[in-house]
């Protein structure tokens, strides 16, 4: 229940959560209730400490921990979730974060470890038992989800299980038919398959399991992702191991690798159901997860070290190659969130370098988009691809916000690493939405004394990293105006501007 110091004081975290809620942003907390380490007071109160130095493992009479892990993925000391005290402790943790902090959901770490059936101190190197269907963890994890929903019926419950479909179905399909539909979202790792595509290799690149239907889920409760904190960065592998057979499209070239990341978003984000973007993936983060603070890479260490943050120091939003990925993903997400067809059905055709996604809902009015097709070319040479439009007539390029780019051909030529997304109607999304469609940049950035922006607005606010308002400018400002911040101490700041319609844009600035 203790807050990590990186998040500030409890009151400051509450302020942050309230501000996020005011901006329609939900907060999901990553909770680790599978294991604990030697400094945990519940370990130390029932501890086997033969040398009396204050450190040891759980004692045989511990009401919280197993002496030996009962699953094959253990780190630290293994909680026994069949013990009444552990279940009560877990409920108290849930209640604390839901009621005291208004947290909107939990991502439960390592839920495979919530079984008591797979260990007696001997490590099962084949993971056979731990990976099999275990009724005891199904039952206890359901009770924890039920308790969360009893406090907040819209609470997000996400399990990092990465297990067999027959067990994950028990949670994904749970309580779906209630007035407030439930169902537990399952963590869906697809890193290897998507990375094969972005690197340009024609093997092991079937992405069908990014969709919930392939796993037997009755609703889109799969939290699919190409990247996470546990996997190597796609861009790092692109530039280190990518296909370089075509010299004019060498994936190991940084800008070439970046140019392929928009297509990654097209064949992942558009698939119905929740998806995750990990830590500046939308700007092509290419630092290895094993990057050390000094910028070197150590595969045997540094995974948990604080990383360099080049996205700020190098002003990646001003880099046209990285910004293109950001803008394309933003457009794809805007379509996904606002066009009803993306709540419909879908089919994924993959297993080669030209995957295709069909998304459709023929129950929608004929004036709306009923059919979408996503075509991508992850080869290192151009490909002519059959469109196989499911209905005739004019099709529209949904990446063109004007709705003026149309297509009727039976084939389309797609350059290496690019994609196309077509709809049978133009998108109805407004193309003048200040927040989504217009980029906001600050220059110079980093800044010593003063800066300018590329937008006209009526007020500008500057917040420090704790969320405190430290400076504001009010008036009818143009792109020619400059803003003096010489009185602010060197740090990272959030800049928020508002126009006459009450629409806002935000960006960050580094004060030197």
Question: What pLDDT is recorded for position 433?
Answer: 44
| pLDDT tens digits, one per residue of 303-333 | 999 889 999 999 999 999 999 999 999 999 9
Residue 107 and residue 29 in contact, taking contact as beta carbons nearer than 8 Å = yes
Number of neighbours of residue 187 by Cβ within 10 angstroms: 22
Question: What pLDDT is recorded for position 431?
Answer: 42
Q: Which band of pLDDT confidence, cut at 50, 70 and 90, is reported for residue 121? A: low
**pLDDT greater at residue 63 or residue 506:** 63
**pLDDT greater at residue 350 or residue 123:** 350
Residue 217 and residue 169 in contact, taking contact as beta carbons nearer than 8 Å = yes
Residue 503 and residue 486 in contact, taking contact as beta carbons nearer than 8 Å = no
Which region among 100-114, 279-293, 397-411, 435-449 has the lowest average model confidence (pLDDT)? 435-449
The vertex-439 CA angle with 479 and 435, nearest 5°, equals: 105
Say whether pLDDT at 342 is over 90: yes
Q: Which band of pLDDT confidence, cut at 50, 70 and 90, is reported for residue 284? A: very high
User: What are the respective helix, strand and coil percentages of the chain, to the nearest 5?
Assistant: 30, 20, 50
End-to-end Cα distance, the chain: 36
Residue 391 and residue 371 in contact, taking contact as beta carbons nearer than 8 Å = yes
**pLDDT greater at residue 52 or residue 165:** 165
The rounded mean pLDDT for the chain is 92
Question: What pLDDT is recorded for position 361?
Answer: 96
Residue 261 and residue 198 in contact, taking contact as beta carbons nearer than 8 Å = yes
Question: What pLDDT is recorded for position 376?
Answer: 98
Q: Over range 440-458, report the average pLDDT.
A: 87
Say whether pLDDT at 300 is over 50: yes
Q: Where are the domains of the chain?
A: 340-423, 435-511
In CATH terms, is domain 435-511 a member of 2.60.40.1930?
A: yes
Q: With helix as H, strand as E and coil as C, how does 379-410 read?
A: CCCCEEEECCCCCCCCEEECCCCCCCCEECCC
- The residue written with tokens 């308002």 in the block is 469
Q: Which band of pLDDT confidence, cut at 50, 70 and 90, is reported for residue 435? A: very low
Say whether pLDDT at 161 is over 80: yes
Which region among 1-10, 196-205, 377-386, 396-405 has the lowest average model confidence (pLDDT)? 1-10
Q: Over range 262-273, report the average pLDDT.
A: 97
Instruction: Find residue 442's DSSP bridge partners.
Output: 453
Q: Do domains 340-423 and 435-511 have the same CATH topology?
A: yes
What is the distance between the alpha carbons of residues 347 and 212, in angstroms, rounded to a whole number? 11
CATH fold group of domain 340-423: Immunoglobulin-like (2.60.40)
């Amino acid at each position: 229940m203790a807050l990590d110091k990186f998040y500030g004081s409890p009151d400051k975290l509450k302020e942050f959560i309230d501000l996020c809620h005011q901006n329609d942003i939900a907060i999901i907390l990553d909770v680790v209730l599978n294991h604990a380490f030697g400094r945990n007071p519940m370990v130390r109160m029932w501890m086997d400490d033969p040398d009396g130095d204050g450190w040891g493992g759980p004692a045989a009479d511990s009401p919280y921990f197993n002496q030996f892990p009962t699953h094959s993925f253990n780190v630290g000391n293994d909680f026994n979730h069949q013990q009444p005290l552990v279940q009560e402790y877990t409920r108290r943790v849930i209640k604390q974060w839901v009621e005291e902090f208004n947290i909107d959901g939990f991502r439960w770490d390592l839920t495979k470890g919530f079984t008591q059936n797979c260990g007696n101190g001997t490590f099962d190197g084949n993971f056979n038992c731990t990976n099999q269907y275990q009724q005891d963890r199904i039952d206890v994890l359901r009770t924890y989800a039920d308790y969360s929903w009893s406090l907040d019926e819209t609470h997000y419950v996400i399990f990092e299980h990465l297990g067999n479909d027959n067990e994950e179905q028990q949670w994904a399909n749970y309580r779906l038919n209630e007035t407030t539909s439930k169902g537990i979202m399952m963590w869906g790792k697809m890193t290897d398959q998507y990375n094969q595509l972005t690197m340009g290799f024609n093997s092991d690149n079937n992405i069908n399991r990014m969709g919930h239907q392939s796993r037997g889920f009755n609703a889109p409760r799969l939290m699919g992702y190409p990247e996470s904190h546990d996997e190597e960065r796609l861009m790092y592998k692109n530039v280190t191991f990518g296909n370089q057979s075509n010299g004019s499209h060498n994936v190991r070239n940084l800008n070439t690798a970046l140019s392929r990341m928009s297509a990654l978003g097209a064949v992942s984000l558009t698939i119905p159901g929740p998806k995750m973007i990990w830590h500046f993936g939308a700007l092509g983060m290419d630092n290895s997860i094993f990057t050390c603070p000094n910028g070197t890479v150590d595969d045997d260490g540094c995974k948990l070290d604080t990383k360099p943050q080049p996205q700020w120091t190098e002003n990646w939003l001003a880099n046209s190659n990285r910004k293109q990925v950001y803008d394309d993903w933003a457009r794809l997400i805007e379509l996904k969130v606002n066009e009803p067809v993306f709540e419909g059905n879908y089919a994924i055709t993959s297993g080669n370098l030209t995957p295709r996604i069909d998304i459709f809902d023929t129950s929608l009015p004929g004036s709306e988009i009923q059919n979408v097709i996503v075509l991508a070319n992850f080869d290192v040479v151009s490909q002519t691809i059959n469109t196989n439009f499911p209905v005739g007539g004019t099709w529209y390029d949904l990446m063109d916000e004007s709705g003026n780019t149309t297509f009727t051909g039976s084939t389309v030529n797609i350059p290496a690493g690019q994609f196309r997304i077509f709809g049978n109607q133009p998108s109805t999304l407004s193309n003048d939405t200040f927040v989504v469609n217009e980029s906001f940049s600050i220059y110079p950035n980093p800044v010593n004394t003063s800066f300018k922006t590329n937008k006209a607005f009526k007020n500008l606010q500057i917040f420090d990293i704790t969320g405190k308002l430290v400076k504001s400018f009010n008036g009818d400002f143009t792109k020619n105006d400059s803003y003096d911040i010489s009185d602010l101490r060197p740090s990272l700041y959030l800049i928020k501007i508002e126009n006459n319609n009450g629409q806002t844009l935000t960006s960050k600035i580094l004060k030197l």
